[in-house]
Structure 1
């Protein structure tokens, strides 16, 4: 009975993660790893330190650390909160421009499809089915950067060249999962606003 209930809840959770799927763009780096590594090392340890990535990650972390303070100010002094929010957007715009200006030439934006459960993207070479990889993801427009482990569930030739990779997130920390969930929600909200403005 308990096993049946667990299976039911797992199916519901999987369905929910797949339903919240968006098309987006990101800068990606991929590194092959052993499955044992996923339980003893952070995914970030497989990548060289990157000034653009660190910059957007730091901006995001500072933003999250002070989000509650800004909300509290909004309740007490809406005008001040509005002003600080505008300053925050200016800082994000400057950070985005600076990060983009120092990006290595071999890193480029590419189309992805993203859900809470995994990611799809086109890669130059075929990745091994069922193998594990460390993935570095920079959501350029949103100034968010994360690293995560993925398990490849499909690697098929793309009609546009390269291989379309379907991968499931593996052993992702709660903090990174929350970043993904918030990003998906924000992208969906932007898409809804865009559709309304077109009507």
Structure 2
């Protein structure tokens, strides 16, 4: 994992994280965890972000020939994002959740937990990013479990991640990089 981990830019990111230890059969049965009871709105922001990402090049092309139409479409997109964040935000109930800062990359993450989990165990992960209401369900394999003051720090690598999730994580990481650079310049 050390070499693989170094291939990706890593950020510290606040997140609400939940996990369950699962079997290899459960992982093999689905590319996205089904072990969590989530509402239809849980993945709404992620799905809309995926559609937005897929349509950006189209809006750019429209903007070249019809700038007013492209501006109008971008405004409609903002309206949809506002409605979706309101709907998803009421469903996520982040006020009663514990947020912790994780170290995140496109390949995996590390986080602190109260229990030791053996290396090569499989986890179903539920991540909620409070800043944007983005929710992700992913599988991961434990690569590292180290004792720390507050419990155990787990290092996990993502498994069977759909390309759409990888794209969303990459975008999230790029946005965080841009914010960090802007903060350093100011």
> What is the TM-score of this pair, normalised by structure 1?
0.76
Aligned to 1:3: none
In structure 2, the partner of 1:26 is 15
Partner of 1:134: helix, strand, or coil?
strand
Q: CA-to-partner distance for each residue in 1:146-186, whole Å, 9 max, x for gaps?
A: 22211112233333x34322111123233322222222122
Separation in structure 2 between the aligned mates of residue 47 and residue 14 of structure 1, nearest angstrom: 27
Structure 1 unmatched ranges of 5 or more: 1-9
Quote the offset at 1:124 in angstroms: 3.5
Cα 1:35/1:52, change in 2 over 3 Å: same
RMSD of aligned C-alpha atoms?
Answer: 2.7
Superposed CA offset, 1:65-107 (max 9, x none): 4323222222223344334334433432443343233324643
Q: Which runs of 5+ in 2 are unaligned?
A: none
Name which of 126, 143, 149 aligns with 1:153. Answer: 143
- Residue-by-residue CA offset, 1:94-147 (whole Å, 9 max, x unaligned): 433432333246434321111122101122333232211011222332443322
Give the length in aligned residue pairs: 185
The 1-side partners of 2:66 and 2:81 are apart by 23
Quote the offset at 1:52 in angstroms.
Answer: 4.2
Cα offset for 1:13?
5.9
Find the aligned partners of 1:136 and 1:127 in 2 and give their Cα distance.
Answer: 17
Do residues 44 (structure 1) and 33 (structure 2) align?
Answer: yes
TM-score normalised to structure 2 length: 0.81
**In the aligned structure 1, how far is the partner of 2:72 from the partner of 2:183?**
25
Structure ranking higher on relative contact order (CA contacts 8 Å, 6+ apart): 2
Question: Structure 2 vs 1, CA of residues 102 and 119 (structure 1 numbering), >3 Å: closer, same or farther?
Answer: same
Work out the CA distance in 1 between the residues paired with 2:5 and 2:154: 19
Instruction: Identify which of 165, 168, 183 aligns with 1:176.
Output: 165
